[in-house]
Chain A
């Protein structure tokens, strides 16, 4: 017994010290921990849910939305209780706000845009002045836009900007907000538009007072906006000093190549409109390419601008440069397709045909290569060889059907079916095209994409003068499967009106 006594004494000491230390509790930490745990588990379960939120998996998604709402409701009162000390109170507000946003995202994923709007509408004012309110207003503007209510979207975006405009830390993430507000305004796209003047003034304020990176980003936003509103002098005036300062920099910083790429893209837009000569863009382009900017994307913007401007030889040179110096699976096929189109427009049929055949062989199964059969049809029509065009159309249908049979579902399946639909419509076989559209819709069954495809198919059916018996089932399906969306409700109203 004597041998064990030191251990016993030690165990008693531990127990006593613990008992003494457990007098006063800190419940807020426990509540925050539990809230974080429940939210994390909900996020984890969300990642494991089936993708077809609006179909078979709807019940699970709906239950998850309810779970997020219950987490937010359960811990919400703690976040606004003055008796709860900071930082726990602020953390709990952030957690409950994130839970509400989780519910909104899940409802939006279930194509329940009205439900998402209701959730946000019920809680957004409560979070006014907190950091999470910014995310809520961003989300609300998205929901309003999906509803087609751009005035409400603009209202929410104004709230976002007023919350972040004075904060150096938060502003950068939302620097596109004034531009979005101006573009959503019902004004005409002219330099005198009030919404544009307001946004430009906001950007100028950031340019005058912000840090170096913010100044560069605000300049780019303003340049893009000025080009949208046909204010070329502003665009070029503000791009010039930014470009000079970037070119003069001895040691580029991380992110500079991306900024220069955006400068080149903005200049390319000005070039396409005839506001700038290609020579003015050259130093910025070469700098961007030398410093690791996305070469394919940057050069494509310049090539397309030259093409729009009608400087076809220079555009072809740029496309050739992409193919030969920056050959990759994403941009090289696009460059080859653009080159083929330019040659086709100039009547160089044989060269265009060779480009298309090269595209089909070298970059097989890329989206531009899959378009080649239909492009050959267009080439023949432009050339005036209508018999060959009809034959090419027939071969295009065979090619797309063969590829759809051979390739596994997913991947390019959707694109192939869209190309087949286009082929059938070009042949004037609208009923066949409609049958393909039904299959195309089924491919997206259970996702929000199904709603978009239904809408596109209904519009195509009306444009192609299909019989009501073919269109009405689509309208009915939209009403039945998406009752909590603006489109679904409108479809239900239309069906009811037709029935009465």
Chain B
């Protein structure tokens, strides 16, 4: 298995969603997800407006504490508060959107490939997404074991540490890359994880490249709202909201690309297994 072939597999997989980019049906669910996430971000950002305060203030207080209702603490804490509530949004809305997107891609690649009910798939996608979030939580906790001074470091060392953190997550995520697509296409969660591990083992470099695209694109956003960029952005706290919103937009395109590519590879591997 040569490197060129692995990169070729990754490129072939990406061509699927890129070609279907003009087909709105593959975007609908993810767009609704992004709209819901943006709405939640907007609610957190403008919680103090008289029109939103009844719902916004308890939410901000619960997510960031009473200090977070004050300027500029509120905006400096916004990325953390949003990350907390975003978990709920991803579980409640994201799993549905992901399942529908995977099925939409599958229907474009090869008709009637998905099996079982959508609701059943959603439940299994939920389990796989839960496993991914737990892995992320574990990696985050592991980095919390570092000395506090190191965690708060900016500059090149801070970027390097962030890179290592995202790299570790990407490495683990590589083996679960296809589990979402498998579950979305009707496989039970445990079998989806096993199959994903199997595909990633046969295509490790191509799979890692796909996950690395996600890590590379999200790295600047994570850096800007973390210790690395806070000093530069802190003079304009409103920029934190803009960074989170831009990250949401980037994740819309990344999700489209990764789900489309992983679904294409899963279908290819299933077809290969049937031969």
List A residues at the B interface (Cβ < 8 Å): 3-4, 6-8, 10-11, 14, 17-18, 21-27, 29-30, 32-33, 36-37, 40, 44
Contact = CB atoms under 8 A, between A and B. Distances in A.
Contacts of A23: 54
Contact of A26 (B50, B96, B103, B104): B50
Contact of A7 (B53, B96, B103): B96
Contacts, number: 75
A7 B97 CA distance: 7
Given A11-B35, A22-B55, A30-B53, 4 more contacts: A7-B97, A11-B32, A25-B51, A26-B53
Interface stretch (B12-20, B66-74, B151-159): B66-74
A29 to B, nearest CB: 5
B39 A14 contact: yes
Interface residues of B, number: 31
Binding site secondary structure of chain B: helix
Contacts of B35: 11
B43 A10 contact: no
B57 interface: yes
Interface string B199-225: 000000000000000000000000000
B52 A29 contact: no
Binding site secondary structure of chain A: helix
B48 interface: yes
Contacts of A22: 51-52, 54-55
B129 to A, nearest CB: 16
A14 B36 contact: yes
Interface string B230-265: 000001000000000000000000000000000000
A8 to B, nearest CB: 8
A29 B72 contact: no
17 contacts: A3-B103, A4-B100, A7-B93, A7-B100, A10-B32, A10-B92, A10-B93, A11-B32, A18-B39, A18-B43, A18-B52, A21-B55, A22-B55, A25-B53, A26-B50, A30-B49, A37-B71
Interface string B57-95: 100000000000111101000000000000000001100
A29 B69 contact: yes
Nearest to B74: A33
B36 A10 contact: yes
Contacts of A37: 71-72
Nearest to A7: B32
A252 B169 CA distance: 47
B29 interface: yes
A30 B36 CA distance: 24
Contacts of A11: 32, 35-36
A44 B103 CA distance: 51
A36 B43 CA distance: 19
B31 to A, nearest CB: 9
Q: Which 7 residue pairs of A and B lie closest in terms of their CB atoms, listed nearest first? A: A25-B50, A21-B55, A36-B71, A33-B48, A26-B53, A7-B32, A37-B71
Given A7-B29, A30-B49, A24 B54 contact: yes
A33 B124 CA distance: 43
Contact of B96 (A6, A14, A17, A30): A6
A4 B36 CA distance: 15
Contacts of A40: 71-72
A8 B96 CA distance: 11
Contacts of B50: 25-27, 30
